Amino acid sequence: MTIETFANPWPSREDVRITSVRAIATAPDGIALVVVRVDTNVPGLYGLGCATFTQRWKAVVSFVNDHLARLLTGRYPGDIGDLTRLAGFTGYWRGGPVTNNAISGIDQALWDIAGKRAGMPVHELLGGKVRAAADTYLHAAGREIGEVIEDAQRLIERGQRHVRLQMSTPGGGGYGAPSVPTEYPDAPYRNGWSARDYLRRTPALFEAARDKLPDHVELLHDVHSRLTPKEAVWLARALEPYRLFFLEDVLAPEHWDRLPEVRAASPVPIAVGELTTSLQDAVRLVRDGGVDFIRSHVSDIGGLTAARKVADLAELCGVRTAWHGPGDTSPIGAAANVALDVTSAAFGIQEGHVYGDNVHEVFPGTLRIEDGWLRPNEAPGWGIDIDEAAAARFPAELSGHDAWAAGVRRPDGALEAP
């Protein structure tokens, strides 16, 4: 679509209406992605939005197709705030990741339409750039210290200045790293994961990293919500000599009320928010002093409109953003992240993901990390399309990834956080 498509006279409010709303599920890299397409009665004018909740993607598809489509068809697509509130309030019981991902798909698709109507990229509609690009971090992992360091060195050679380090812990609980055999063969749950082992091994990883990796490279680590408040403080203090950029998700959401005390005792910046499932969850983390970085998954809190509010609050509170952006974020969601990154003074860092060739085929215009940097497209809207014929060749299927957390248990058999 070109700017000339909608050259003057512009279609008026009365002349533009939503004609259909539908969810498209596809898995070009083996991870289920959900994108919402909103069509209008203006030929060629449609929008795309990210609604990816990989673990419950079918529920999101049904929410969009069976409920929101009927609600929104016939309405004016320019009333973004009103339509997203309508989508959230009409179910009476509201909130949660299924609802908010469905709303996010609508929200981001409407922003895409708005950009195309205006002939501007979304970041210009948000007020324009305050930086040229977003710095990113990627993930390095391995079974033991040497493998992690080698993986990190490969990323640094590609231009990364920030690298997250994850190492296997016996029992399969070393998040983001391969599983390795248990050290508890006689325990009730012989493939159990032990927090004590994790706390013992992790500082050794970062000691080696600081010795082997260039000093200017920033190091990050994800706990993945598995520690008690006291364990989180112990780990943060043990990692102090290695100057981490941040320590991520130290507590489970059930214990986020303890984050202010953990943050106060931690010499390492604390990044939390990946498991926020509402705008209000994210606001409380920022407002109540629990985080140095807010890490919400944008579609889980309701989309671009909600995330803008979080970014504005973060700026006022001296908190920085680090939006969640792994492979279960669609390219549209990644574009929304970057639009927020380049337009917000609160930006801290952006989690990056290197999409495979199949994703680029299904989503023409998908952003690419170059020398560690992500730059938004300058085309109207997101500058990203979807090839539905290509998407159909990679159908989303129910798989182990939809219940990937089920196998993490402690040696005594108690179920652990994902």
**Residues identified as active-site:** 175, 224
Strands 218-222 and 162-167, by their bridges, are parallel
Amino acid at site 31: I
Residues 273/313, Cβ–Cβ less than 8 Å: no
Helix (H) or strand (E) holding 232: helix 229-238
Nearest to 222 by CA among 276, 268, 175, 160: 175
Q: Dihedral, CA atoms, 6, 8, 14, 18, nearest 10 degrees?
A: 0
Contact (Cβ atoms closer than 8 angstroms) between residue 49 and residue 111: yes
**Any idea what DSSP says for residue 66?**
I
Joined together, the tokens standing for residue 150 give 């080698």
Instruction: Tell me the helices (H) and strands (E) count for the chain, helix number first.
Output: 14, 12
187 three-class SS: coil
What would the two tokens of residue 149 be? 């360091």
